[in-house]
Amino acid sequence: MSLLFDNVSYNYPGSTHGLHDVSLDVRTGELVAVIGPSGSGKSTLLKLVAGLETGHTGRIMLGGEDMSRTPVHQRHIGMVFQSYALFPHLSVLDNVAYGLKLRKVATAERRKRAQELLDIVGLGEFSQRAVAQLSGGQQQRVALARALAIDPRALLLDEPLSALDASVRGHLRDQIRSIQQRFNATTLLVTHDQEEALVMADRVAMLKDGRLLQIATPREIYENPASRAVAEFVGLSTILPAKVASPGRLDLGFAELFAETGSRSFGTPVHVLVRPEHIQPDPAPNAMNRLAGRTGAQRYLGALTRYDFEVQGAPKPFLAESPAPANEAIAVAPEHLRLLDH
């Protein structure tokens, strides 16, 4: 079932936080990750879909039906909370079966269904446990099973992995994604972790100050960010001010570089984006876009070393990644210099 936001705006009373004219669509079975800094409105978006916040303008359509007037408990939308929100007085099985009980499903059948879902999330043998006996990661898997048990029209994941240890997070990320695909659940994932968004999502929507900046596939949003704000939030990068010196030439103040300037006219101010993996250490002396300098701070990451490369006159060092840091110079191929107009 598709989920559509059509010019959705929302204001928290007495604050500037909220949403401004957000339009986006989530196709059936698609997982769209909503990312953005705190206060960007991403959680608000989720709460509006669930019905936990009300009073927006514009339309939120689920399967072609406007849900604005439907109360929370009649929306049939599964939600997974950052704090798990499992019912402490119910067993694991009864937690999962809770939504089915409300739907008057017969006891035997709902037990069977809940057990199936627990098997799917890999917690089949924990069904009779008390919730408090499970680890955080296990509790979140129960919460996922509970949300899926009602056969939801859409699935909302509100920072589902933020409360978990890094070691659990990576594994659970994959597991949630594969279960989501198996159920073909139309899913909205809210996260502040851009890496999580890139790994899990079919498309990523970036919000800032209540506005949608870009919605695109993970590859597109990483390689072709629409603006500086998106580029800064997604992935690591070096962003420097520049202006167009001539067609195909860019003036950075401390150096002139070859770049694809497109139809921008002479003197147009832009920002230039360089991803760390596109920086080539110690290129040939006659290489294009060669910049001499020295390596500053280094972080050893195993397969790679991430390092700052300081170029004389540059306002900040270039962030680079390669198996070994550069000794005296770096180069960036013209096609890897991405120009940002705003």
Partner 1 sequence: MTLETTLVRGISLIYGLYLLLPIALLLVGSVGGNWTNTLLPTGITGQWYLDLWLDTSFRKAFVSSLVVAMAACAINTVLALPLAYALYHGARRGGSLAARIVSATPVAVPAITLAFGYMIVFNTDLAPWLGSMPLLIAAHAILTLPYLTNTLLTDLRHLDLGRLEQAAATLGASGWQQFTGIVLPSLRQSLISGLVMVAAISVGEFGVSNLLTSFQNRTYPVVLLQAFYGATGFACAATVILLVLASASALLSSSLVKQRA
Residues of the shown chain interacting with partner 1 in the complex, contacts defined by CB under 8 A: 50-52, 72-79, 81, 83, 85-89, 98-99, 102-103, 143, 146-147, 150, 156
Axis crossing angle, helix 136-149 with helix 92-102, rounded to the nearest 10: 20
Question: For residues 78 and 276, which CB has a smaller minimum distance to partner 1 in the complex?
Answer: 78
Question: For residues 50 and 198, which CB has a smaller minimum distance to partner 1 in the complex?
Answer: 50
CA dihedral of 196, 197, 202, 208, whole degrees rounded to 10: 180
Helix (H) or strand (E) holding 311: strand 305-311
3-class DSSP state of 5: strand
CB 189 → partner 1: shortest distance, Å? 16
Question: For residues 155 and 234, which CB has a smaller minimum distance to partner 1 in the complex?
Answer: 155
CB 144 → partner 1: shortest distance, Å? 12
Residue type, 96: V
Is the C-alpha dihedral spanning 204, 206, 211, 212 positive or negative? negative
184 Rama class: left (phi>0) / alpha (psi -120 to 50) / beta: left
Question: For residues 52 and 239, which CB has a smaller minimum distance to partner 1 in the complex?
Answer: 52
CB 165 → partner 1: shortest distance, Å? 21
Question: For residues 56 and 228, which CB has a smaller minimum distance to partner 1 in the complex?
Answer: 56
CB 150 → partner 1: shortest distance, Å? 6
CB atoms under 10 Å from CB of 55, counted, come to 10
Please give the structure tokens belonging to residue 318. 């270039």
CB 54 → partner 1: shortest distance, Å? 12
Cβ atoms of 206 and 212 within 8 Å: the answer is yes
CB 24 → partner 1: shortest distance, Å? 21
Question: For residues 133 and 312, which CB has a smaller minimum distance to partner 1 in the complex?
Answer: 133
Question: For residues 147 and 274, which CB has a smaller minimum distance to partner 1 in the complex?
Answer: 147
From CA 224, how far away is CA 254, in angstroms rounded?
Answer: 25
Residues 6+ apart with CB under 8 A from 57: 7, 8, 9, 10
Given the structure tokens 């928290």, which residue do they identify? 12
Write the CA distances from 48 to 41, 236, 239, integer angstroms: 11, 31, 35
Residue type, 253: G
Question: For residues 155 and 231, which CB has a smaller minimum distance to partner 1 in the complex?
Answer: 155
Question: For residues 105 and 311, which CB has a smaller minimum distance to partner 1 in the complex?
Answer: 105
From CA 199, how far away is CA 290, in angstroms rounded?
Answer: 33
- Helix, strand, coil proportions of the chain in percent (round to 5)? 30, 35, 40
Given the structure tokens 């999502």, which residue do they identify? 201
CB 75 → partner 1: shortest distance, Å? 7
CB 87 → partner 1: shortest distance, Å? 6
Helices of type H across 36-165: 42-50, 92-102, 107-120, 136-149
CB 60 → partner 1: shortest distance, Å? 15
